[in-house]
Structure 1
Amino acid sequence: MSSRVGGRAVSGADTDRSPVSDADVCVVGAGPAGALVASRLAARGRRVVVLEAGPRFDPADRPQQMERSIGPVDGRGDIWGMGGDRDAYASTGDRFYPLNANRVKGVGGTTLHWQGMVYRLHEKDFEMDSRYGLADDWPIGYDDLRPYYAEAERELGVSGADDNPFGPPREEPYPLPAFPPSYSDSIFAEACEELEIATHSAPNARNSEPADGRSACVGYGTCQPVCPSGAKYDATVHVERAEEAGARVIDRAPVQRLAHDASGERLEAAVYATPDGVEHRQEADAFVLAAGGVEIPRLLLLSESEEHPDGLANRSGAVGRYFTEHLFAGAGGTIDRETRQNHVGFMTSESHQFYDHEEPVPGSIKLEFLNYAGPSPVEMALTGDTFGDELLADLREAYGNHLAVGALVEQLPRWENRITLDDSRTDDHGNPVPEIRWSVGDHARRTIERANEIQVAILEALDAEIEWVVGPDDTGPAAHHVGTTRMGTDPDESVVDPALRTHDLENCWIASSSVFVTGGALNPTLTIAALALKGAEHVDEWL
């Protein structure tokens, strides 16, 4: 029978989790990258099996999950079942890294609770060394990914408008119209006009109108941690398409290690465990690792052998290295007018005016006008200790005049920021847990300081009472895991080639933000999707 962990798992111990015979492709991970790869290859007639560490959640539970998410007791981890020995990790760097705060293990992956912001990286993000003498250039450029970006926008059903004067060139409109600016966006627009800051719409992987069998966004405002209506894209869309095309998705099947042939040049099987405690070998002609920027390097390191004593695909020593994030900068407070806070659970306006910088420092800033500043009425009602008329009075006094400006800030990849194995603690299968060593760096600090200057200026132009500022000393990560199996042409300095195939293993590809060379300051999911589509094409050509 199935068991409830957060949302209800719809498959249990009696589900058939035996290996698939004669598989062409084994995909590890059923998040957006793995789902897109599986869907694309299955549609082309390939026999595909997907191994997912977490459960398959029942979409019928989403309204209940939404209700629990806004209650005073349950947290995001409880909604999606994160935590415990299965998800244990260590953080030993200069900054504590809250890994489990923003990830999900399950069919659909982290898109089950993501905010849904989707962007193409700017051209300069692929050319950081050439332009600024910082970090390294990618071995591919924006033009190489441009057709895959367009395809990814169609697959995810992106709502947007071609009104960003600072964005990279586009060849066609977004699939769906942009969401209109929110009420608080109009307030920010006044200050931005005064300060000569251009604003524009923010592309969203959520339906602005009914499409693809899913409703338009109905404004629940709980995008993180759950969209009850299904208007926001999540990877179960492509999991279902993959299954309809013949793929098999095995949930609760965490891969323990990858096994190679006698030569050490080719993978033979993914060894996975099932809830009954049995290990199975899933053999295939090709393997695609799509389990994210932490679990992919961990799996490669766990798969060490005589032929690969430092872990698989790690001739360069770069597996787990260059762990890169986006940093948050923000400022907020209150103004003496209505703002209609929390009417929208996602951003509808932003500015990339400070993204393509002329000098190396400060780096890229994506300025965000937050629609979810301050508490919602529901949050206040459920977490406070007043009732009836007293509660209504509290709501009238404390709700509706909050504003906040956020930003994602560029972090440069650093060799010392890395994912490795912590041999002092094991997970529920006896494997060393991932150890995260992460620090911020001077480049990011100076960029956060510049972002704060802009944010404070906007709030001051509105005569706001500034109540908080998140700066370089208290910044946090955006849960965008970038760079731990980087792409390159030199096998001694990178893990995968421009076709996303590992240099060291002829039948292993990686589809993940882990292959990014640099991360810019933009949410990575659209680039992940574009690379997954590109990688699926290369795998299909190889088979």
Structure 2
Amino acid sequence: MTATDRTPSDRADVCIVGAGPAGGIVAHSLAERGHEVVVLEAGPRVPLEERLERMERHQRPAHDWTDVWDMGGDRDAYSSTGDVDYPLNRTRIKGVGGTTLHWIGYTPRLHPKDFEMESRYGLATDWPISYGDLRPYYAEAESEMGVAGSEDNPFAPPREASFPMEAFPPSHSDSILGEACEELDIDVHSVPQARNSEGYDGRSACVGYGTCTPVCPSGAKYDGSVHVRKAEEAGARVVDRAQVQRLEHGPDGERVEAAVYATPDGTEHRQEARQFVIACGAIETPRLLLLSQSETYPDGLANSSGAVGRYLMDHLLYLVTGQLPEPTGQHQVGFTTSVTHQFYDHEEETPGSFFVGFLNYAGPSPVEAALGDGGWGDDVTTAVGRSYGGHIGTEALVEQLPDPNSRVTLDDSQTDDHGNPVPDVHWTVGDYARATAEKAIQVQRDILSEAGARVDYATPDHSPLSGSHPMGTTRMGEDPAESVVDPRLRTHDLANLSIASSSVFPTGGAMNPTLTIAALSLKAAEHVDAAL
């Protein structure tokens, strides 16, 4: 087998850090325009043929979630010091394709109000761009990723064309919860998702493994490796297992000159380029900038505002599940097919935005329970027949506001496998999000109660789960004193450094962020192309 060449390219127009969906989309867009593109990715390549084995890891009790994608150890070390523990290695994946290798696949657009929080409610800040500005990029992102959806959502923002694919049909549990919502005057509709309901873009229709998180073995669910492959076909070079240690700027501090990266044997290389794009998520992006401190930027690269790492947001996730008196025969589908956005837009400032989705949930695994009790063979079969399929459940994603004290910093007491300080994630939730959560949990309980279910679990309102959607740590804005990047996604401080990531979100709304990341990545690529 030929050894992988991880030495720098002699010539590069653009160097991109990160090969997730943002990095892949930017790389593909720029390579198609004829530019010489190099992508540096900290993690390995994950061939599609390996994913079935990774799914099997997930299904075996001996393995936990992080084992599926080999997360952990010195490379992925971090600290969590906020009010709520932040399970970073369950929310991210380092590898070609990035965190979309295990995402759920939902692709809603943010609403116009999410761009106008200060103007509408006197809260947080406005984005320097509007929904209208991002609208054509949203449409392009839906086409590029392949989104299945329906125009049945009366609360959705305006759009310009139908979805690329038809929505998935409602599930059996959707009908049970939908009837309850009808009695409660709650409108129910489909949820757009980057999962093929038919063959699309050379990938098959969903074949129903039901293991969308943490792994889709068929490739029917979109992930960032799709655009990485397209970028390589267009001439881009993608170097895996090449951890970028720092960015180095020129003597005047106005331009980045090189990305310094380390290969698996510890050798450091410098990749020079005319333009640089950081696309490694809302935790590693600020960490890289902070690690790139210099005499010119003693507080971290591109950090003259002091905003690098600050304003960390996530979506609070609340689950409420229950059991019906009669078995339903519901089997795990693996993704949500029906939701309600009825509680998203609001006139008053509180409670904030949230949405409720119906889980295609069959209950706790009876196989794992039986094995844990020492059962085997017929014991497991009996347990499955007795208890599988009588449960229903809901999930809610809840909005939180940006807070400068919620942030990513460097923890000098721990180092990674190359001796760099690890990220310290200090996630602060805030009273606004907690008040909104109370409303969301009550709506979830009302739905299950109306459906005749006995609630058997509810996420405590004071101890939310992470939606696995970190955002906001290199925020976008017009004022260089208050933000890190401008509306063109270029850093205020360095003329050839752009950021494509959820880290640029000034506010986070309560919608899954990946489609917005993709739309912003297309926008960033357009601006980088113009600069070249």
2:324 corresponds to 1:353:
no
What is the match of residue 68 of structure 2?
Answer: 79
Which aligned pairs between 1:421-500 and structure 2 lie closer than 5 A? 421-500=410-489
Letter in 2 for 1:507: N
Query: 1:66 deviation in Å?
Result: 1.0
What is the match of residue 7 of structure 1?
Answer: none
What is the match of residue 390 of structure 1?
Answer: 379
2:38 corresponds to 1:46:
no
Letter in 1 for 2:346: H
Cα pair 1:184 1:340 within 8 Å, conserved: no
Cα pair 2:367 2:384 within 8 Å, conserved: no
Question: Distance between the aligned counterparts of 1:262 and 1:342, measured in 2?
Answer: 61
Letter in 2 for 1:442: D
2:109 corresponds to 1:120:
yes
Cα pair 1:364 1:521 within 8 Å, conserved: yes
What is the match of residue 491 of structure 2?
Answer: 502
Q: Deviations over 1:358-382 (max 9, x none)?
A: 1111110111101135135655566
Cα pair 1:71 1:382 within 8 Å, conserved: no
Question: Distance between the aligned counterparts of 2:438 and 2:251, measured in 1?
Answer: 53
Question: Distance between the aligned counterparts of 2:20 and 2:30, measured in 1?
Answer: 15
2:339 alignment partner, SS class: strand
Which aligned pairs between 1:97-112 and structure 2 lie closer than 5 A? 97-112=86-101
Cα pair 2:108 2:512 within 8 Å, conserved: yes
What is the match of residue 22 of structure 1?
Answer: 11
Which aligned pairs between 1:247-286 and structure 2 lie closer than 5 A? 247-286=236-275
What is the match of residue 368 of structure 1?
Answer: 357
What is the match of residue 6 of structure 1?
Answer: none
Q: Deviations over 1:463-496 (max 9, x none)?
A: 2111111132221111101000000000000000
Query: Which residue among 164, 167, 181 is the counterpart of 2:156?
Result: 167
What is the match of residue 404 of structure 1?
Answer: 393
Letter in 1 for 2:508: G
Question: Distance between the aligned counterparts of 1:339 and 1:153, measured in 2?
Answer: 35
Query: 1:103 deviation in Å?
Result: 0.8
Query: 1:388 deviation in Å?
Result: 4.0
Task: Return 5+ residue gaps in structure 2 as ranges.
Answer: none
What is the match of residue 63 of structure 1?
Answer: 52
What is the match of residue 312 of structure 1?
Answer: 301
2:321 alignment partner, SS class: strand
Cα pair 1:342 1:376 within 8 Å, conserved: no
Q: Deviations over 1:386-439 (max 9, x none)?
A: 234433332232211101111000011101000000111110000000011112
2:525 corresponds to 1:536:
yes
1:225 alignment partner, SS class: coil
Distance 1:307 1:522, change over 3 A: same
1:86 alignment partner, SS class: helix
Question: Distance between the aligned counterparts of 1:74 and 1:316, measured in 2?
Answer: 43
Cα pair 1:132 1:359 within 8 Å, conserved: yes
Distance 1:107 1:382, change over 3 A: farther
Cα pair 1:57 1:106 within 8 Å, conserved: yes
What is the match of residue 516 of structure 2?
Answer: 527
Query: 1:65 deviation in Å?
Result: 1.1
Cα pair 1:156 1:205 within 8 Å, conserved: yes
Letter in 1 for 2:526: E
Cα pair 2:362 2:388 within 8 Å, conserved: no
1:206 alignment partner, SS class: coil
Distance 1:53 1:390, change over 3 A: closer
Task: Return 5+ residue gaps in structure 1 as ranges.
Answer: 2-10
Query: Which residue among 201, 220, 229 is the counterpart of 2:218?
Result: 229
* Residue range with higher mean Cα deviation, 53-62 or 388-397: 388-397
Question: Distance between the aligned counterparts of 1:100 and 1:389, measured in 2?
Answer: 36
What is the match of residue 193 of structure 1?
Answer: 182
Question: Distance between the aligned counterparts of 2:179 and 2:353, measured in 1?
Answer: 24
What is the match of residue 231 of structure 2?
Answer: 242
Letter in 2 for 1:191: A
1:408 alignment partner, SS class: strand
2:149 alignment partner, SS class: coil
Distance 1:309 1:110, change over 3 A: same
Cα pair 1:32 1:235 within 8 Å, conserved: yes
Q: CA RMSD in A?
A: 1.3
Cα pair 1:123 1:168 within 8 Å, conserved: yes
Distance 1:135 1:473, change over 3 A: same
TM-score normalised by length of structure 2: 0.98
Q: Deviations over 1:318-373 (max 9, x none)?
A: 00000000001221110023334443100000000000011111110111101135
Cα pair 2:112 2:157 within 8 Å, conserved: yes
The percent identity for this pair of structures is: 64
Question: Distance between the aligned counterparts of 2:329 and 2:270, measured in 1?
Answer: 55
Runs of 4 or more above 4 Å deviation: 376-384
1:228 alignment partner, SS class: coil
Letter in 1 for 2:499: I
2:425 alignment partner, SS class: strand
Cα pair 1:221 1:342 within 8 Å, conserved: no
Cα pair 2:58 2:68 within 8 Å, conserved: yes
Cα pair 1:452 1:471 within 8 Å, conserved: no
Question: Distance between the aligned counterparts of 1:392 and 1:90, measured in 2?
Answer: 42
* Residue range with higher mean Cα deviation, 336-345 or 126-135: 336-345
Distance 1:392 1:278, change over 3 A: closer
Question: Distance between the aligned counterparts of 2:104 and 2:389, measured in 1?
Answer: 22
Cα pair 2:283 2:423 within 8 Å, conserved: yes
Query: 1:209 deviation in Å?
Result: 0.6
Query: 1:191 deviation in Å?
Result: 0.2
Letter in 2 for 1:23: A
* Residue range with higher mean Cα deviation, 333-342 or 47-56: 333-342
Query: Which residue among 136, 139, 150 is the counterpart of 1:150?
Result: 139
Question: Distance between the aligned counterparts of 1:375 and 1:470, measured in 2?
Answer: 15
Letter in 1 for 2:200: A
What is the match of residue 500 of structure 2?
Answer: 511
1:390 alignment partner, SS class: helix
Question: Distance between the aligned counterparts of 2:270 and 2:200, measured in 1?
Answer: 39
Question: Distance between the aligned counterparts of 1:381 and 1:156, measured in 2?
Answer: 40
2:270 alignment partner, SS class: strand
2:299 alignment partner, SS class: coil
Question: Distance between the aligned counterparts of 1:499 and 1:156, measured in 2?
Answer: 22
Question: Distance between the aligned counterparts of 1:439 and 1:343, measured in 2?
Answer: 33
Cα pair 1:40 1:536 within 8 Å, conserved: yes
2:104 alignment partner, SS class: coil
Question: Distance between the aligned counterparts of 1:58 and 1:440, measured in 2?
Answer: 37
Cα pair 2:366 2:387 within 8 Å, conserved: no
1:234 alignment partner, SS class: coil
Cα pair 2:6 2:239 within 8 Å, conserved: yes
Query: 1:136 deviation in Å?
Result: 0.2
Question: Distance between the aligned counterparts of 1:17 and 1:63, measured in 2?
Answer: 28
What is the match of residue 4 of structure 1?
Answer: none
1:439 alignment partner, SS class: coil
